[in-house]
DNA sequence: TAAATTAGCGTACACTTGTACGCTAAGTCT
DNA sequence: AGACTTAGCGTACAAGTGTACGCTAATTTA
């Protein structure tokens, strides 16, 4: 057997995860999402939830992990594009914004739940964001000859700017979103250019 | 009379506001704060709350307004310090971080409630942050000869970096906070320096 | 001084929440 | 085939929620 039992279980587990992500929106954070709401949306009895997760927190951590996977996939895609295309900044922002547009709820989860959640949850989110900072730090060190510390500071600034732009883009119409994108690209130019300049003088 | 009645009313109104601010923390957002919790902490009956606010939302908007006042006061102080001291970036970050340390909950309200609240609430917060961007834009235009658009983009980048650093500082111990502060200062140098450079070339 | 206003309270109600407990039916193992 | 395991359900309960309604006591107004 392929485990018809286990298969069905995995299916409802996904239904729960999907239901939770589905219910995220600007006015409905994960923190304000109830177990019963999720169960209702997933089409199971409230008590059946416990066959899959001990807790809403456990579900939350799972969501963050899943989102992280999607994000890293995005990064890989961006890197490929850069190799073919050239412009690092433009391509990165472009890819990022595309992702935000396609997976707004994942983004809400990773960028807007800065309070009202458990310590573990916030730590998990921070870990995902740090992946970004770390990978970018390495990239910068390989590209230029910045010290680890210097590169990290720059990477942190870049990630902060891009992620924040992403968070803001969530509520904007396409026109304003485009403007935001252009401003963000310019800001990234400023900070990379500035870093190169400051480093030179030292 | 000085209105003993109205005076007492104002007093409990403040008690409500204080109670709400008091109850904000990393794991307890305003969005997850209940009317009854606030009333309990303020020492009044739940129903008495309505003598002062129609809604938790109305209370939230009031909190944002009050916080905005405190913030603008801070800005004035920072400007005075700059006039005497010189270093714009250092002084600004210093002042800002001092404020975060002293009024963590105001900061939680303005920087961490990016979802789970009402549209009006989020708009009110955005308005407060925009005050910062606009004032900084004007300052930059007076100081250098940047165009409005260029200056705004730069200002937006600066505000994003500082506010985000503030939001992160909330959960850090003094040592890490100090490191964050230094990285932030460096990032601000990058972006201002970079803006000047990019502008020159145009 | 008498009448009118009102801040705050207590009671009450209809909901929603998380979760304990025991059952059933269907899949799995021996 | 028979024993075992378990995903999902229904019932039940205690606790918390927002808020309608009417009362009281004290201040304000006339």
Alpha carbon separation from A96 to A143, A150, A168, B78 (Å, rounded):
21, 24, 13, 35
Token pair belonging to B198: 């990019």
The torsion angles phi and psi of B25, rounded to 5 degrees, stand at -160, 180
Collect all residues of chain A within an 8 Å Cβ-Cβ radius of residue B198: 186, 189-190, 193
CA B169 to chain centre: 13
Is 0.85 surpassed by the pTM of this model? yes
A195 contacts B190? CB cut-off 8 A: yes
Q: Which nucleotide is nearest to B9 (CA to C1')?
A: C7
- Within chain B, what is the greatest distance between any pair of CA atoms? 68
Q: How far apart are the first and last CA of chain A?
A: 67
A115 contacts B108? CB cut-off 8 A: yes
Say if A200 is an interface residue toward chain B (CB within 8 Å): no
Distance A187 CA to D5 C1' (A): 59
Distance A61 CA to D3 C1' (A): 38
Say if A164 is an interface residue toward chain B (CB within 8 Å): yes
Collect all residues of chain B within an 8 Å Cβ-Cβ radius of residue A29: 29, 31, 115-116
Nearest to A67 by CA among A138, A129, A9, A151: A129
B167 contacts A164? CB cut-off 8 A: no
pLDDT digits (tens, 9 = 90+) for B167-194: 999 989 999 999 999 999 999 999 999 9
Portion 34-93 of A in contact with B at CB < 8 A = none
Task: Answer yes or no: is B37 CB < 7 A from strand D.
Answer: yes
Number of H helices, E strands in chain B: 8, 0
Say if B32 is an interface residue toward chain A (CB within 8 Å): yes
pLDDT digits (tens, 9 = 90+) for A91-118: 888 999 999 999 999 989 998 888 889 9
Q: How many Cβ pairs closer than 8 A exist between chain A and B?
A: 127
- Within chain A, what is the greatest distance between any pair of CA atoms? 68
pLDDT of residue B202: 64
Q: Which of B23, B33, B115, B127 to mutate to test the interface with A (most CBs of A within 10 A)?
A: B115
pLDDT of residue A92: 87
Token pair belonging to B166: 């503030």
Give the C-alpha separation, B38 to B153, whole Å: 40
Task: Answer yes or no: is B7 CB < 7 A from strand C.
Answer: no
Task: Answer yes or no: is A48 CB < 7 A from strand D.
Answer: yes
Give the C-alpha separation, B200 to B194, whole Å: 10
Q: Which nucleotide is nearest to B48 (CA to C1')?
A: C8
Give the C-alpha separation, A160 to A164, whole Å: 6
pLDDT of residue A199: 78
Give the closest of B32, B183, B197 to A153, CB-based.
Answer: B183
Q: Which residues contact A132 (CB under 8 A, 6 or more apart)?
A: A71, A75, A159, A163
Say if A144 is an interface residue toward chain B (CB within 8 Å): no
A116 contacts B32? CB cut-off 8 A: yes
Give the closest of B27, B187, B197 to A116, CB-based.
Answer: B27
pLDDT of residue A43: 98
Say whether pLDDT at A151 is over 60. yes
Say whether pLDDT at A1 is over 60. no
Phi/psi region, residue B116 (left: phi>0; alpha: psi -120 to 50; beta: rest), is: left
Chain C positions with an atom below 7 A of a protein C-beta are 6-12, 16-22, 27-29
Say whether pLDDT at A85 is over 80. no
Collect all residues of chain B within an 8 Å Cβ-Cβ radius of residue A183: 152-153, 156
Give the closest of B112, B154, B195 to A115, CB-based.
Answer: B112
Q: How far apart are the first and last CA of chain B?
A: 67
DSSP string, A67-129: HHHHHHHHHHHHHHHHHHH--HHHHHHHHHHHHHHH-HHHHHHHHSBSSSS-HHHHHHHHHHH
Q: Which residues contact A65 (CB under 8 A, 6 or more apart)?
A: A124
Average pLDDT, whole number, for chain A? 92
Task: Answer yes or no: is A75 CB < 7 A from strand D.
Answer: no
Mean pLDDT of A29-38: 97
Task: Check: CB of residue A52 under 8 Å from CB of residue A16.
Answer: yes
The per-residue pLDDT string of chain B (202 residues; one tens digit each, 9 = 90 and over) reads: 568 889 999 999 999 999 999 999 988 999 999 999 999 999 999 999 999 999 999 999 999 999 999 988 888 888 788 888 778 888 888 989 999 999 999 989 998 888 889 999 999 999 999 998 999 999 999 989 999 999 999 999 999 999 999 999 998 999 999 999 999 999 999 999 999 998 776 6
The torsion angles phi and psi of B135, rounded to 5 degrees, stand at -65, -40
Nearest to A97 by CA among A188, A178, A186, A189: A178
Mean pLDDT of A119-127: 95
Q: How many residues does chain A have?
A: 202
A28 forms beta bridges with A25
């Amino acid at each position: 057997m392929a485990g018809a039992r286990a298969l069905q279980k995995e299916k409802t587990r996904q239904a729960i995860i999907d239901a939770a992500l589905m219910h995220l929106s600007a006015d409905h954070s994960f923190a304000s999402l109830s177990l019963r709401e999720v169960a209702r949306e997933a089409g199971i009895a409230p008590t059946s939830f416990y066959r899959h997760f001990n807790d809403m927190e456990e579900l939350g951590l799972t969501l963050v992990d899943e989102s992280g996977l999607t994000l890293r996939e995005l990064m890989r895609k961006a890197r490929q594009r850069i190799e073919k295309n050239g412009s690092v900044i433009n391509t990165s922002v472009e890819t990022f914004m595309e992702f935000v547009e396609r997976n707004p709820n994942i983004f809400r989860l990773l960028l807007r739940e800065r309070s009202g959640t458990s310590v573990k949850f916030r730590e998990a989110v921070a870990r995902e964001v740090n992946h970004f900072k770390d990978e970018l730090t390495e990239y910068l060190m390989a590209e230029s000859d910045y010290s680890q510390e210097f590169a990290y500071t720059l990477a942190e600034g870049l990630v902060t700017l891009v992620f924040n732009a992403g968070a803001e883009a969530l509520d904007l119409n396409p026109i304003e979103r485009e403007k935001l994108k252009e401003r963000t690209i310019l800001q990234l130019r400023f900070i990379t250019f500035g870093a190169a300049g400051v480093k030179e003088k030292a």
